[in-house]
Amino acid sequence: MQVTAFDWRPSVMYNWDEQGHVTQRYGRDIMVVRGLAYALNASLVFNDAPQVPTSNAASIATSYYLTPPPEILWGFRSPNGSWNGLMGIIQRGEAEVGVANLYITNVTLRMLVADFSVPFDNEVCVPVTKVICFLSRLPRPLPKWERILYPFEFTTWISVVAGLVVIGPLLYVLAKIGNARLVVVGRGFKIGGERTDLQSLNFAVMYALGIHFMEGQSHTPIRRGTQVFVSFLWLYALIITTVYSSNLTALLTVARQPSLINTIQELHESGKEVGGMGAIFGTALASSTNPYLQALSLRYDVYNGRINVLYSRMRKGDIVIIAGLNVLRYMETIEFTHGGAREAYVIKETFSPYSIGLITQRGSPLKRKFDVFINRMVESGLVNYWFLESLRMAKQELHKEKKYQLETNEDGESDDTSDDAASPDAELVEVDYAGVQSLGFEHLEGFFFILLVGYVLSGVAFVFERRANSR
């Protein structure tokens, strides 16, 4: 059984020797073809589509987006009806089967020269579909010194501060109103009236501030109205401080991640550009009825042969990558995972589902047999297993190649892109392997900042007091 394919990771993955010969073929689509050959008792002969081979290290990382452009790899139809690339090989009868992450679609009139099998990609549901997704860089963790602010949202902090500003003067006003007009003077207050110390604005403000910090007050109001006010103030302060303290305890030891982009609308509002391989994604964005996707099509740029540039911009966080779900999962695993920490994630909302299958020559009797066995593969979970196994093999090959490069490096220095060497900001999640994590200065530096601000303000107040006394 003659098969045509080309390196398009993670569906089809090739390893080459120094002479440019393919030494190994693996990947989900290759495993599907091998499964069909096993079921039909056939041997495989590969007639690969034209592609520029590279060294193993480069092939593992980038060769699935080599020149020529994707449109030529899969093939396009010329005005005289002939095809080039993979479709041309099928049209000319030079191969009986073609695989390379083929979308079951007739957008380019491929069904004129080839028949598609039933879909075998089992990422979503039945009928099995392949969805187009976006890969975005995980935002860097928020600064640790800001953790004292994390327990409350911004609007909550505004409400708490506003309440703190108002409560002191309001207590002072209630004490003034509650002051009786009797002239009989008792111990520190007028009989029948409110305490004289609460009738001081400075004291009333400090009194309310002390309650917010759960500091017990030795002086209690006398008037019923003021007592009710202070009672509910204590209840409010108790709830606020308990909620803040509880959340703060957790946030001091666990890094809080910034909010992620999860919807197409949020992606549009973020202002990020969109990059991908081939014009098909730009067409899919522009033809969508979703206005946000239509707007994203204006930011879409094709990075054929510039995958390293796309990766670099991705790591800077100013662009997202659009591709099929499995391709993005491969990128996330191979390119954006270092030392166990992920640098990227797939945005939850997807669009434009496509089915993935293989092609045969037009009218080939193999299609009917293929459909039967492909359905069995999908139902048994083999296709998904082969995909995960291919990811594991690609990771191992990358590790072996970089280990070999390290051993043969004259300087003996590790490559910055090594899987074991994370980038400076790659550790996106704090992990405590000892069970209980001790709090270091980086966890509590925000409180030291507050203490420093207090020292500065008290020093300024002291200076003004000295100047006032000298006068």
String of b and e for 166-185 (b: at least 16 CB within 10 Å)?
Answer: ebbeebbebbeebbeeeeee
458-467, long-range: CB < 8 A, 24+ apart: none
**pLDDT tens, position by position, for the chain (471 residues)?**
999 998 888 788 888 777 777 888 888 899 999 999 999 999 999 988 766 544 443 443 344 444 455 556 777 788 888 888 888 899 898 999 999 888 887 767 888 889 999 988 744 433 333 456 777 777 766 666 677 777 888 888 888 888 888 888 888 888 887 665 444 455 554 455 677 788 888 888 888 888 888 888 877 888 777 888 888 888 888 888 888 888 877 777 666 666 788 888 888 888 889 988 777 788 778 888 889 888 998 999 888 767 788 888 888 888 898 887 777 888 887 788 776 677 888 888 877 677 888 999 999 999 999 999 999 998 888 988 888 888 888 888 777 777 766 666 655 444 444 444 333 333 333 434 345 556 666 666 666 777 788 778 888 877 887 787 776
Residue 20 CA to residue 66 CA, distance in Å, equals: 14
Domains and CATH numbers, the chain: 2-129+355-408 (3.40.190.10), 151-251 (1.10.287), 264-346 (no CATH)
pTM equals: 0.54
Residue 462 CA to residue 360 CA, distance in Å, equals: 88
- For the record, the structure tokens of 292 come out as 């946000």
What DSSP letter does each residue of 91-154 carry, written as one string? HTTS-SEEEEEEE---TT-GGGTEEE------SS-SS--EEEEEEEEPPPPPPGGGGGGTTS-H
Rg (CA), the chain: 34
Residue 252 CA to residue 145 CA, distance in Å, equals: 10
Considering only CA atoms, which of 337, 324, 353, 322 is closest in space to residue 136?
Answer: 322
- For the record, the structure tokens of 430 come out as 């704090």
Alpha helix positions (H), 335-440: 366-380, 382-408
Total Cβ atoms within 10 A of residue 256: 13
Considering only CA atoms, which of 113, 96, 103 is closest in space to residue 47?
Answer: 96
Burial class (CB in 10 A: 0-12, 13-18, 19+), 315: middle
Burial class (CB in 10 A: 0-12, 13-18, 19+), 350: middle
- For the record, the structure tokens of 51 come out as 């592609």
Specify the pairing of strand 114-116 against strand 13-16.
unpaired
Considering only CA atoms, which of 374, 446, 458 is closest in space to residue 119?
Answer: 374
Contact 134, 321 (CB under 8 A): yes
Helix (H) or strand (E) holding 334: helix 325-334
